[in-house]
A = this chain, B = another copy of it.
């Protein structure tokens, strides 16, 4: 396959290198990724600023293109302008940190995969559940195997896979679990600080994850030693609610 690899941690991130190496053993792999870290950019694209594209060589490991934009920008411009042919698959990651639950919405890693499916290209996002020292080997090996399987899964149009791997040695991983996105409320707070010029500023802090996590969810899976695979799509319509609302009286215009 001809595979496009991207991420949101930036083209110099070790998770991207690990992913590239695992995939390049069997496939032709192109790298088009943000030139700088783009965490929590969600499904942003650049409309107000133009994009710049630079060729980058990564320690002789690979060469790729660094884009002055978001992960979704990378997928768009890779397909439209950079790559000599349309990729068969887009793989985004390996993200340093899980993308589960509500955080999927904020995830640049996932948005790159979603962007690919919008363009009609198969895609998966892969993240490693740790914010500390990361060993990407287990996740990279799994990404490579799943990439090979992906064409056989016959995912419906517009569906991609959001994969999260627990940060455990291979022999402690309990298996693969198909999951749904966890939707518990986030409890967040801001840290209020004063800068040297006596101006106040705020840091988003302390996302509270001390809550009951339902079995069957992405969050539960990685907390319990499973690789989580969630099929996700980009149609935000709530169909049950649409049907209910359609039965109601609406104000006349």
Interface residues of A (CB under 8 A from B): 37, 39-48, 50-53, 72-73, 76-77, 80-81, 102, 104-106, 111, 114, 118-120, 142, 145-146, 149, 153, 155-156, 158-159, 162, 170, 173-176, 178-181, 183, 185-186, 188-190, 192-193, 199-204, 227, 229-242, 245-246, 248, 250-253
A39 to B48, CA, bound (A): 8
Q: Are A230 and B242 in contact (CB under 8 A)?
A: yes
Q: Are B183 and A235 in contact (CB under 8 A)?
A: yes
Q: Determine which of B76, B81, B183, B251 lies in contact with A176 in the assembled complex, contact meaning CB atoms within 8 Å.
A: B251
User: Chain B residues with Cβ under 8 A from A236's Cβ?
Assistant: 104-105, 114, 162, 181, 230, 232-234, 236
Q: Determine which of B72, B146, B230 lies in contact with A237 in the assembled complex, contact meaning CB atoms within 8 Å.
A: B230
Q: Are A106 and B43 in contact (CB under 8 A)?
A: yes
User: Chain B residues with Cβ under 8 A from A81's Cβ?
Assistant: 190, 192, 202
A52 to B201, CA, bound (A): 5
Interface centre among A120, A189, A251 (most CB of B within 10 A): A251
Q: Are B235 and A231 in contact (CB under 8 A)?
A: no
User: Chain B residues with Cβ under 8 A from A230's Cβ?
Assistant: 236-237, 242
Given A231-B242, A241-B156, A242-B180, A175:B41 Cβ within 8 A: no
Q: Determine which of B158, B204, B231 lies in contact with A183 in the assembled complex, contact meaning CB atoms within 8 Å.
A: B158
Q: Are A159 and B238 in contact (CB under 8 A)?
A: yes
User: Chain B residues with Cβ under 8 A from A185's Cβ?
Assistant: 118-120
Q: Are A40 and B51 in contact (CB under 8 A)?
A: no
Q: Determine which of B41, B80, B192, B251 lies in contact with A145 in the assembled complex, contact meaning CB atoms within 8 Å.
A: B251
Q: Output the least CB separation between A23 and chain B (Å).
A: 16
Q: Are B47 and A39 in contact (CB under 8 A)?
A: yes
User: Chain B residues with Cβ under 8 A from A37's Cβ?
Assistant: 48
Shortest Cβ distance from A46 into B: residue: B204
Q: Output the least CB separation between A183 and chain B (Å).
A: 5
Q: Output the least CB separation between A240 and chain B (Å).
A: 8
Q: Output the least CB separation between A168 and chain B (Å).
A: 10
Given A44-B44, A52-B199, A237:B231 Cβ within 8 A: yes
